[in-house]
A = this chain, B = another copy of it.
Amino acid sequence: MDIAERIKADPAHWRLANAIRALSMDAVQAANSGHPGMPMGMADVATVLFRNHLKFDASSPHWFDRDRFVLSAGHGSMLIYSLLYLTGYEQMTIEQIRNFRQWGSITAGHPEYGHAEGVETTTGPLGQGIATSVGMAIAEEALRAQFGKDLCDHRTWVIAGDGCLMEGISQEAIGLAGMQKLGRLIVLWDHNDITIDGRVSLSDRTDQLKRFEASGWRTLSCDGHDPADIDRALADAASGKDDRPVLVACKTIIGYGAPNKSDSAGVHGSPLGAEEIEAARKALGWTAPAFTIPEDILADWRAIGARGGAARDAWNARVDAAPNRDEFARRISGEVSEKLAPAIAALKEQALTAKPKVATRKASEMVLEVINPELPETLGGSADLTGSNNTRTKDLGIFSPEDRKGRYIHYGIREHGMAAAMNGIWLHGGFRPYGGTFMCFTDYARGAMRLSALMGLPVTYVMTHDSIGLGEDGPTHQPVEHLAICRATPNTLMLRPCDLIETAEAWEIALSSASTPTVMALSRQNLPLLRAEAGENLTAKGAYILRESGKKEPSVILMASGSEVEIAIAARDALEAQGVPTRVVSVPSMELFRDQPETYRKKVLPKGAVRIAIEAGVRQPWDWLLLGERGKAKKAGFIGMTGFGASAPAPTLYKEFGIAPEAVIDEALRLLG
C-alpha cells in the first residue's frame, strides 16, 4: 500500500501521526540540524502507543504510577518532543519546539533528563535507554512486591533502533531482563534497516528475534505503518500473556513520508531541506503552515493526553486509603531516611572502641550490615563479584522471578548493564541502588556512569580492589588512571576512605546525596583504624588534618587517600622523630574539599610547607592540591604510579613501585634540601 492509500484507509490515525512528522521536519529544518528520519519512521507506532496503550496523564508528568516511556534511540528526540507538545505537557510549548537544539531551550538535541518533563531518562549514547529501562522494570517489580499492585502497577515501554541493538550494552540488558522475566518491559524495535553508514547489512546480519528469544524474550512483529497491525501487536505485548519481556519488531521505513529521501541513510541525521519538506507535506496531505497543528487535530491529541486522568484519580484515592501511604510517599520521594545518621553514628562509635583492621571493602560490608536492615530502600548488587565486593549482607534476599522482595541483584558479568540498570532503578523511584565491581572495570561501565553524573542520579558504585593492592591478578585488574578518570568527570563524587570510620562516613554521604552519583574506591587489603575520633563527618570536608605536626607550623604536609594514608602516617612519625614537623592530611574526596570555604582549605593546606601526595594512582588529579590553583605552592612531590601495575603479591608491588614510607621520607628530605 502506498502512503495515500494508507491515509485513506484510516484518516483518524494518519492526521495524528502526521502531526508528529510535520513538527519533526519543521523543527529539524529550523535548527538546521537534527534527525528527522526516526521520528517520521516511528510516528505511527508512537501514535498507536500513546493513543491506545501508554498509561499517562499529560497534566501530571510525575504521576508515579504512569507507564514509563523511554526513547532509547535518543537522536529521534523530535518524536518525544512532538508527543509531549501534542498531548499537552505544559512545559512543552510550540516555542520550545521552534527552539529545538537552541541554547536555553528544553528541547536539546538528544532528550535530557531534567530538561523537559516527560523525558524519563537521558538518551543518545546508543543502548543506554534499553539498558536503563531494565532498571526501571526491576524497580517496578520490586516496589509492587513491597507495596502491592494498588500502588505500583505499570509498564516500561522502550523504542530502540538498530544502533541500540548493535551496542554491546544491549546484550547485557537483554540477558538480564530475560533472566529476570521482566514481563512488563516492552521494547519496540524500529526495524528500519538503516544506520548512518547505510544498510544494516553493511555491518550486521543478526536475526534479532532469534537473538532475543535466545535470552528468554517473547517476540512479536508488526507493520510499523499499519495502525491496526501495530495496535494488535502492542495489545498482545501488553497482555501479560506470560512473564517474558517482549520485543516487538516494527518494520518501518526511515523518514516515512519524505518521498525522495525515505529509506536511506541520508534522512537519518540531516534536515530534509525545503524542497523535500514540501514534497513530504504533499505526500502526507499536510497543508498547515510550519509549526502549526490544526485545531481539531490538536484537540484530539490533547484528549489523548488527558486519557489517563481517571486512572490517576483512582490511583490517588487508593494511595490515600493505603495504610502504608506515608512510607510509600517517603520511598517514592527519594528523601533520605532519618534512620541513616544514627546508624552511622553508632557504628563509628563502636569502631573507635573495637579498632578493627579490615579492608575498606569489608568495612563497607560492615556499614551495609547496619544500614540495610534500617533502610528498606537500598537495592544492592554486584557484577558477579559478590564475595569480593562485599556487597551482599545477611537477610537481603535475592531479587529473582521467584522472589521480588529480594533486595540483592546478581547482575551477572555485566558492569555496563548494571550501571545503566542502577540509573533506571533510581529514575523509577522507590529505591537507592548500589552495585559493585572492581575499580578497574569502571572502564566497562563508563558510558552509564557518565549518564549517572549528567542526569544527577545519586546511585552508588562500590568499586573495590582500588589499586595495585589488588596484587596477583595483575595490571589488567589494577586501576592506575581510574581515580583520575572519576575525578575528571563532572558531578561525580569520588570517595576513597582510609578506614572503617571514613567508610561509614562515605556511605552516609552517598546515601544522603540528592543529585550526585558516588564512586566509592575501596581496598582489597586490610587497613588499620586511623581515626581517633568519631564525632563530625570529616569525610564530608573532603580533606582534613588527620595527624597534626608536633609543631603547629608543619614543614611538610603529607596528603594521601585510602590505603596510602597508613603510609603517610608511618612516614610522618619517622619524620617527626627526625625533628621534621609533619602534618598528615587525609583526602577522601577532592570534590568535597574543593567545595569548602577558602579559609578552611588554607587552614588545612597552609603556604610555606613542602607538600607530598601519596596515592597508588597517577599524579594528574593531585597537581592542584600540590601546587595550589593559582600557583602559590612551594616545593611539591608525588609518590604514586607512573605506569601500569604488575602481577605479584601486594606488599611486593608497593615495595617495587616505591610507594612506601621510606620513599616519602626521602622525598621530603630532598625537597627540604
Contacts and interface: CB of A to CB of B under 8 A. Distances in A.
Interface of A: 31, 33-34, 74-75, 101-105, 108-110, 112, 122-126, 162-163, 166-172, 175-176, 178-179, 195-198, 201-208, 210-211, 213-216, 382, 384-388, 398, 410-414, 416-417, 440-441, 443-444, 446-447, 450-451, 453-454, 471-477, 480-481, 484-485, 487-491, 611, 618-621, 623-624, 626-631, 633-637, 641-644, 646-649, 652-653, 656
7 closest A-B pairs by beta carbon, nearest first, are A168-B168, A203-B412, A623-B623, A171-B171, A108-B647, A627-B627, A124-B476
Residue in A208, A451, A472 with the greatest tally of chain B CB atoms within 10 Å: A472
Contacts of A623: 620, 623-624, 627
B203 A214 contact: no
A109 B631 contact: no
B179 A644 contact: no
13 contacts: A33-B649, A109-B473, A124-B473, A125-B443, A168-B171, A168-B414, A168-B416, A175-B203, A196-B388, A203-B410, A490-B642, A623-B623, A628-B631
Given A102-B652, A109-B474, 4 more contacts: A102-B649, A197-B387, A443-B446, A623-B624
Contact of A443 (B206, B447, B648): B447
Contacts of A205: 178-179, 215-216
A36 B398 CA distance: 28
A636 B633 CA distance: 12
Contacts of A628: 627, 631
B197 A384 contact: yes
Residue in A126, A620, A629 with the greatest tally of chain B CB atoms within 10 Å: A620
Residue in A104, A126, A206, A208 with the greatest tally of chain B CB atoms within 10 Å: A206
Given A170-B171, A203-B384, A647-B109, A413 B620 contact: no
Contacts of A637: 630
Contacts of A214: 206-208, 210-211, 214
B112 A647 contact: yes
Contacts of A618: 488, 490
A325 B647 CA distance: 40
Nearest to A411: B203
Contact of A620 (B101, B171, B488): B488
A27 B410 CA distance: 31
Contacts of A440: 125
A390 to B, nearest CB: 13
B627 A633 contact: yes
A172 B105 CA distance: 36
A168 B417 contact: yes
A63 B489 CA distance: 45
Contacts of A412: 166, 195, 202-204
